Structure 1
Amino acid sequence: MVSRTMKAITTTGNGGYEKLVYTDVPVPEITQGEVLVKVLAAGVNNTEINTRLGWYSSSVNESTQEASHEKSGIQNADGGWNKKTPFPFIQGTDCCGEVVSAANDVDTSILGKRVLIRPCIREQGFDSLDNIWMGSDFDGAFAQYVKVRASEVFPISCNWTDAELGSIPCAYGTSENMLHRAQLKAGETVLVTGASGGVGSATVQLAKRRGARVIAISSVEKHEAIAKIGADQLISRSADLLKELGEQSVDVVVDNVAGRGFSAMLKVLKRGGRLVSSGAIAGPLVELDMRDMYLKDITLIGTTAWDKPVFPNIVRYIEQGEIQPVLAKTFPLSSIAEAQKEFLKKEHVGKFVLIPPAD
């Protein structure tokens, strides 16, 4: 039986780690079309830190790491993922869990199943790009239980641990969506920036799975780990990209880093190349020479809303053994501040995952 209260991390506003409060809150009550999921593992992402900091505000120009030193606690009205953040609320975009109850209009065969939750919800259907995100626009998985629409819950059958599955939804869904939109094909060359992070390490694997040649950028000490998951060529984060690769050398760039190195990305793209992005951890403002874009017929692709095939693809890849988890470390849910501090050091490869306490 599910108790009436649960442990959760409540994010109380924009600011520092003091805004992350480990507390008792009511277990969410499900309504029509919803299920209640017992959280078994919840991954840590840049987006939770960015939302707490109000980094999505147009007034913020620095990287996530630089912004993390700001502890003013002043709420930015435009600092949320899609709209004003609904403080206080429960963050947590990634969830591996078990369905423990379902509304009376939901198929009960889902009960007791281990599941992954698709965090990106296309409220108006897949013909509209409008979307909301679990853990950014409504309560998420940094708790013992989370409620969500039954349509966003995907049963999964594999021998992965809960923590390994908890590392998957946001990073792998985001990566698959970028590669899907960029239409990466077998035989093409793809350049992946930030290749040691959650999305980056997912992209190395998913691009390799599509038959692409993968060039990965990361700090040198992480090269061995990234080579093991499929990178064909490794470049240091501090290297001169044009000197290493030369102009017009890659078909697709997957760049979630942005910042000062962005201008070189367009120069290494071939004529007709594509640059796809879903983030800007090194800073949102970049130098763009429009001549590099239009004279080479380059396509710039922004991605936030996930397309319909993306998440079912990820579940299928896992069940068929086509990808592997890159789990860096687990933390108790109560140690979220410690996890985020270590996350921002960027010394790890893969994902950090939080484990809620047992009932």
Structure 2
Amino acid sequence: MQAVQFAGHGDTDVIEYGDYPDPEVGSDEVLVEIRAGALNHLDLWVRRGMPGIDLEMPHVPGSDAAGVVREVGAEVSRFSAGDRAALSAGVSCGDCEFCRNGQYTLCTGFHIIGEHVRGVHSEYAAVPEANLIPVPEGVDWAIAGSAPLVFQTAWRMLIDRAEIEPGESILVLGASGGVGHAAVQIAAYAGAEVYATGSTEAKLEAARELGADHVCNYEEESFADWVREETGKRGVDVVVDHVGGNTWRESIRALAKGGRLVTCGATTGPNPETDVRRIFWNGLSVLGSTMATPGQVDDVMELVWDGQLEPAIRETLPMSEAARGHELLEGREGFGKVVLVPDSVEEP
């Protein structure tokens, strides 16, 4: 088969699209013919190399994809050949103390397909049955292949970890990114007043269309100053920060007393400066979040399947142009997801 792959870490020039061994299907696995997959910032970090993760090379990246089931292992019961399925990339052991309590994302062996093990940006992928979600007929492959990772991440952040309530104020940083644009929609769906940041007028207008009530160009002004002005110096109840180093201090300053900062990533660095005094004096909560539980995935994907939530797609590319897709994300070009389609598939 053909697959996106790299034999060493580095810039986009390490990415190739070419022959790769066909996957072997285990007893609890499903062979999926991939119709569409999407890039996430996670793919950029994996390609560059991440401390503590020693990948088998060449590595096939990709944590988002959807396609048609072609073969099932002997122990598979939920899927049959011809079914439509999408990937939910978080893998848990099911047996540790956290899994037994339903806290699957805290699993002691938790890992992500595409980050820690072979991914799904290829013509075919063998995926554990537990990591597949049924995709209803009529759902576009580009939607199915680009929604699961970011929507489950944003859903758990806002609904489970931050426990947002109707009428609360929510600030979403980087609303043009995958998690950001999902968080804007989920916050609006939950009845919150949504504040969002972006770097261009086009991105801010797109955020408005997705449900943002107030928008700020962070290239032109401090978003913390903007929030405090917009809220009469009160601040917002929740900040969604997946940016990290460059925004952390301002995110804390944008919170109201008793506010919650929820984070799932650190695209600009993992070691930000922080004002501990503001955290304890204002009674702030800092909440970490990674991916989602199977039940949470089901809840949010039902809303995607029926069209209440929808991933924005900035561009669709053949997998042979995966390097170009990485460059789009690195250059912050456009709004929403970049979708990759196997070169053998004419339409996603």
Same-fold status (TM-score > 0.5): yes
C-alpha distance after superposition, 1:183-219 (max 9, x if no partner): 1121111000010111111110011111111100001
Is residue 88 of structure 1 aligned with residue 58 of structure 2? yes
Indicate which of 128, 132, 145 corresponds to 2:111. Answer: 132
- C-alpha offsets along residues 233-284 of structure 1, whole Å, 9 cap, x if unaligned? 0011121223312144211100011223321211221222111111122232
Which residue is equivalent to 1:206? 186
Moved over 6 A (4+): none
Say whether the 8 Å CA contact 2:239–2:255 is kept in structure 1: yes
Pick from 175, 189, 192 the counterpart of residue 195 of structure 1. Answer: 175
**Residues in 1 aligned to 2:310 and 2:205: alpha-carbon distance in whole angstroms:** 16
**1:70 maps to which residue?**
none
Cα distance per residue 1:99-128 (max 9 Å; x no partner): 111012212753211111110112233345
Task: Verify the 8 A CA contact 1:139 1:146 in the aligned structure 2.
Answer: no
- Report the CA distance shift for 1:110/1:299 in structure 2 as closer, same or farther (over 3 A): farther
- Counterpart CA distance in 2 for 1:121 and 1:203 is 23
In 2: Cα distance, 1:188 partner to 1:110 partner: 44
Q: State how 1:157-306 maps to structure 2 within 5 Å.
A: 157=136, 159-179=138-158, 180-221=160-201, 222-238=203-219, 239-246=221-228, 247-306=233-292
Please give the secondary structure, in 1, of the residue aligned with 2:277.
Answer: helix
The count of residues paired between Structure 1 and Structure 2 equals: 329
For the pair 1:307 / 2:293, whether they are aligned, the reply is yes
What's the % identity of the aligned pairs? 31
Amino acid at match of 1:91: P
Q: How far apart are residue 158 of structure 1 and its match?
A: 5.2
Residue 82 of structure 2 corresponds to residue 112 of structure 1: yes
Residue 34 of structure 2 is matched in structure 1 by 39
SS of match in other structure, 1:259: coil
Q: Is residue 2:307 matched to residue 1:321?
A: yes
Q: Distance in 1 between matches of 2:251 and 2:288?
A: 15
Q: Which position in structure 2 is the counterpart of 1:103?
A: 73
CA RMSD of aligned residues (A): 1.7
* Aligned: 1:352 with 2:333: no
AA matched with 2:226: E
Q: Deviations over 1:8-39 (max 9, x none)?
A: 01221211223212221121111111111111
Secondary structure of residue in 2 paired with 1:41: strand
Cα distance in structure 1, aligned partners of 2:140 and 2:103: 35
Distance 2:59 2:246 in 1: 34
Instruction: Indicate the SS of the match to 2:246.
Output: helix
Shift of 1:164: 2.2
Q: What one-letter code is carried by the residue in structure 1 that aligns with 2:69?
A: V
Query: What one-letter code is carried by the residue in structure 2 that aligns with 1:29?
Result: E
For residues 319 and 9 of structure 1, the distance between their equivalents in structure 2, rounded to whole angstroms, comes to 27
Secondary structure of 2:314 counterpart:
strand
Change (3 A) 1:218 1:108: closer
Contact 2:147 2:304 in 1 (8 A): no
TM-score normalised by length of structure 1: 0.87
1:102–1:108 Cα contact (<8 Å) kept: no
Name the residue aligned to 1:62. none
User: Is the contact made by 2:148 and 2:301 (CA closer than 8 Å) also made in structure 1?
Assistant: no
Q: Which residue of 2 aligns with 1:72?
A: none
Task: Provide the C-alpha distance between the structure 2 equivalents of 1:158 and 1:200, rounded to a whole number of angstroms.
Answer: 27
Greater CA drift, 304-313 or 327-336: 304-313
Whether 1:26 and 2:21 are equivalent positions in the alignment is yes
Aligned to 1:121: 91
Deviations 1:145-169 (A, max 9, x none): 1111111111121533211222212
Distance 2:247 2:62 in 1: 30
